[in-house]
Structure 1
Amino acid sequence: MSQMNILLLGYGDVGKTISKILMSKDVKPVVVDVKEEIEYELEYIKADVLKESFWTFIDLKNYDVLVVALPNDVNAIFCILMAKKLNPDIIVFARCNDSNYVEKMYRAGADYVANLPLVSSEIVITSIFREAMAKRMIYENLQIVVYEIKNGSPIIGKKLEEIKIPNCKILGVEKEGVTYRDDDFVITANCKVAIVGKKEDLMKFEREYIVS
């Protein structure tokens, strides 16, 4: 997979910031909003994401990541549910305005929820691209951690589908600037693995697989 295909729902202040950062990394997301026009040279779909016609039209199998940047948390939960129903493998990052909805978004299927304004758009992008080793984003004991796999790690040589981490999920692997999520991808030395889970479960993974 040469580059992530990202679908961005919502082009308000948060959506604009996320799109700017993505473009600075030479990635152009496909933006969906009800507005007539948007800034920048982006592929744009004018649609109402709350209507069934949009979800019938869009083919989520063409996307690796969905970023839900809607101002209404209930609407965001609806979009998360629809996305996971249509493509269970898509990675979903969601904006949350009210902390009371964070857990509901996770239950709906979100892989990472940014409780704004506690978590900035820049951190959401960092979590998507996994550029910094061991950069941790904590919300209610949930973390996304990027591990650099070094020589001697027992995880080397294993396929992603063979790696079983209790209560954790591998979001992707980065090798030489390319991100992989294929089940048959084989872990090698010097690649980076992004995992989401609770602190205690990630510590167990570190003790078993990470060589300092």
Structure 2
Amino acid sequence: MLIEDYSLRDALWMTTITLTTVGYGLVKPLSVPGTYFTIFLSYAGLALILYALGLIGALIVEGDLFDLLGRRKMKQEIAKLRDHIIVCGAGRVGKQVIERLKKERTPFVVIEQEEHLFNSLLEEGVLAILGDASMEEVLRKAGIERAKGLVSAIPGDANNVFVTLTAKEINPGITIVARAERKESEAKLYRAGADKVVSPAIIGGQRMAISIIKPASVDFVDTLVCVEDVELEIEELLIADGSVLVNKDLKNSGIREKTGTMVVAIQREGKLKPNPGPEELLQSGDILIAIGTRQQLQKLEELACGRCKI
């Protein structure tokens, strides 16, 4: 437009056919400066196109393009999560949490700060976020407002305290299970807002002692909570308001006869009643802790939820 006094439309047309190497013809003859400018524009456009193609090729060869597309898809999947679990830390403890959540088919997302652990999670197809779980923006990316639970399994008690405080501040109603390395840190984690504090060292030591004293008992418990591909499972089931189990004692509830499951404990108003007697009266809101096969537990779930009649 400046050199040849073209209109905007003609200048745009000439530039387009030059850069695309179509070259239909001149709108009008070019002056000497216009000719040199067209030569420069042609080479510059060709160089830009070659550079762009090379960049795209490098991204494809190095896998970065697929990685970027994969991370974008992962962000979209995380944004769709509701009532999920957030696992903070994918180390030795966090890895066991992840495997159990996979087995239970519970939706979850992992926050991991170490890049090599983060990349290994991506290779396994696990929804994950690279970042510091104690940062508010990272927790929000994991959907902390929509999550029903959070497991803080980061090394270092101070880190877990900070994660707990931040998570409770954003979502006061979320259930938090935190890892404690030292016994004296448990009280601090509870004050920070943790609903349950687990010390792998203490539990591991106690289990080792019981394993040597009562090995058969430990093996049985392992089949319920640790071993994969076993017939028996343990489950928690809430008795709904419309359930036929309400106001019936265990003996006359028909649970054993109709489902084949065994109720080993009842949780009522936050208190646990292990090994309830046959005269124990079931109430709405009770949580039954039962043992049975998957099919048997599904039958009990139908009774507890009020979808079946005895």
The two structures share one fold, judged by TM-score above 0.5: yes
Aligned: 1:99 with 2:183? yes
2:93 to 8, 14, 38: 14
User: Whole-Å Cα distance in 2 between the matches of residues 99 and 144 of structure 1?
Assistant: 23
User: Whole-Å Cα distance in 1 between the matches of residues 178 and 126 of structure 2?
Assistant: 20
User: Whole-Å Cα distance in 1 between the matches of residues 101 and 182 of structure 2?
Assistant: 25
Aligned: 1:38 with 2:120? yes
Matches within 5 A, 1:145-184: 145=272, 156-157=283-284
SS in 2 for 1:8: strand
Q: Could you tell me how far 1:118 is from its partner in structure 2?
A: 2.0
Aligned: 1:73 with 2:152? no
Partner of 1:117: 201
Q: 1:38 to 1:99 in 2, by over 3 A?
A: same
SS in 2 for 1:92: strand
Between 1 and 2, higher relative CO (CA 8 Å, sep ≥ 6) is seen in 1
SS in 2 for 1:145: strand
SS in 2 for 1:31: strand
Q: Could you tell me how far 1:144 is from its partner in structure 2?
A: 7.2
User: Whole-Å Cα distance in 2 between the matches of residues 10 and 135 of structure 1?
Assistant: 32
Partner of 1:64: 148
Partner of 2:137: 53
Structure 1 stretches of 5 or more lacking a match? 137-142, 161-169, 178-187, 192-212
Q: 1:16 to 1:148 in 2, by over 3 A?
A: same
Give the letter for the 2:130 counterpart: K
Partner of 2:169: 85
Partner of 2:265: 134
Report the identity percentage: 24
Q: 1:173 to 1:74 in 2, by over 3 A?
A: farther
Q: 1:45 to 1:151 in 2, by over 3 A?
A: farther
Q: 1:189 to 1:26 in 2, by over 3 A?
A: closer
Deviations 1:98-117 (A, max 9, x none): 11100110111111100122
Q: 1:33 to 1:173 in 2, by over 3 A?
A: farther
TM-score, reference length from structure 1 = 0.59
Structure 2 stretches of 5 or more lacking a match? 1-81, 205-220, 226-234, 238-262, 291-296, 306-310
Instruction: Indicate the larger mover: 107-116 or 58-67.
Output: 58-67
User: Whole-Å Cα distance in 1 between the matches of residues 150 and 201 of structure 2?
Assistant: 20
Deviations 1:96-147 (A, max 9, x none): 1011100110111111100122236x99xx6xx64884399xxxxxx97377
Cα-Cα RMSD: 4.2
SS in 1 for 2:145: helix
* Matched residue count: 159
